[in-house]
Amino acid sequence: MTDEQNWQAPGAQPPASGTAAPQGDQPPSAPPPPHGQPRFGQPQFGQPQYPYGQQPYGQQPYPYAQQPGWTPPPKPGLIPLRPLSFGTLIGAPFQTLRRNPKITVGAALLIQGIPSIVASLLIFGGAALLLGRLANADQADQSTITAGAIGGSIVLGLLSLVVTAISGALLQGVVVGEVARGTVGEKLTLRALWQLVKGRIGALIGWTFLLSIGWIVVVALVALVAFALFALGGSAGVVGGIAVVLFGGAGLLALAIWLNTKLVMVPSAIVLERLPLRSAVARSWNLTRGYFWKTFGVIALIGLIVYMVAQIISFPFGVIGGIVGGIFAPTSMSEGDTSAVTQVLVSQFSINILASIVSSIVGAILAVVQTSAVALLYIDLRMRKEGLDLELVRFVEARQAGRTDVPDPYLTPARPQNAYHQQPPAAPGSYPPPGSYPPPPPAA
């Protein structure tokens, strides 16, 4: 008899002599349980019995069974339909260019790039004409032609401002519409996007001019006060003028950061919610409440990236423009040769025109990135405050089901603030319906 055959359960009585021990394939019988307790696997007294696999509602057959896993929110297009993280807000604007380049890059070149190039050519051509007249004028006509050149420069500057404002407003409308439709997985043509935003172009242009004129007036008032103090003369006037320039400039910078951040959502509200101008201003002010620093951080970081890219591209033209005089006429300025000076000026103008054309194209494309970042911030804030992501999920699911009468989710009446925390609690033992998901943690 082996050791395995001599094994006994702890506490069991040894078999009587002449009794065969249990075989290795048969488990030994367990000792009887204490009085009043059923054996393992037998129901207790009064416990109802259910068929295998069927339990009453709200109870699980196995307490430690694995529950259904968390399903991530869908990503039908540009972004996942959930409140966005900081990294997504930084990376998604650049994905806008890659996702639909025919629309984004094409709209940038057509709406902003070409008008900027035309404005640059007009400005450089007008400046060259005015400088040529001033250089060839008689001594008696110098003052008159100088005044005309100053007036012409002001007119050219205003023309450039008008062209930039109108083209920028048009591009903002198209890009906001592209980001909004790309979020739900749609790729519209440029004509369809234009049909979507054409009714809001007037409000966009009006807002752009209102904001630009307001800042011009504020800066002009500070400059006028400083100029008046400097004109008084004396140490008090000079000190006062310097103080106005320093403290006024710092105050204007802080005011610009605050106001521009609070009002950055106005174009998105005008286009997507089709609000009038005053309501769009109030809408932007309310959306950014509590999220000022996040909004400012995203806009500032995107602006810094765009600025660095623009500087990298324009740097070679600055270097070429700086050495072009030494290449074509190295001694022209010292010898006073008029023809050589003219040659240098023509070369400089040619380089500047080429640099302006390249800068206009690059600036138009990078403007798409900046506008996309603002549109994504607008969508993210509405997701966090109003549950817009739930409306977008319902819209996508309805479209996938073949429905064509689905209302625009961006026009859906807003839910109360912090809509996630005001949802009714789920019934015990129930799970979220298909297409929904639990809200992300507050730190997301």
Dihedral of alpha carbons 253, 256, 262, 268, sign: negative
Q: What percent of the chain has pLDDT over 90?
A: 25
Average pLDDT of 8-30? 51
Give the pLDDT of residue 13: 55
Give the pLDDT of residue 295: 94
Whole-angstrom distance, CA of residue 171 vs CA of residue 165: 10
Average pLDDT of 157-164? 80
Tell me the per-residue pLDDT of 82-139, one tens digit each, with 9 for 90 and over: 999 998 999 999 988 888 888 888 888 888 888 877 777 777 777 777 666 666 666 6
Task: Provide the pLDDT confidence category of residue 339 given band limits of 50, 70 and 90.
Answer: low
**Which value, in Å, is the radius of gyration of the alpha carbons in the chain?**
37
Q: What percent of the chain has pLDDT over 70?
A: 66
Q: Cα torsion for 419, 78, 293, 276, to the nearest 10°?
A: -70
Dihedral of alpha carbons 157, 367, 360, 110, sign: negative
pTM over 0.75, yes/no: no
Give the pLDDT of residue 141: 67
Give the CA count within 13 Å in the CB-facing half-sphere of 12.
Answer: 16
Give the pLDDT of residue 302: 93
337 pLDDT exceeds 80?
Answer: no
Average pLDDT, the chain: 76
Give the pLDDT of residue 53: 47
Return the closest-CA partner of residue 193 out of 173, 222, 167: 173
Tell me the per-residue pLDDT of 426-444, one tens digit each, with 9 for 90 and over: 444 444 444 444 444 444 4
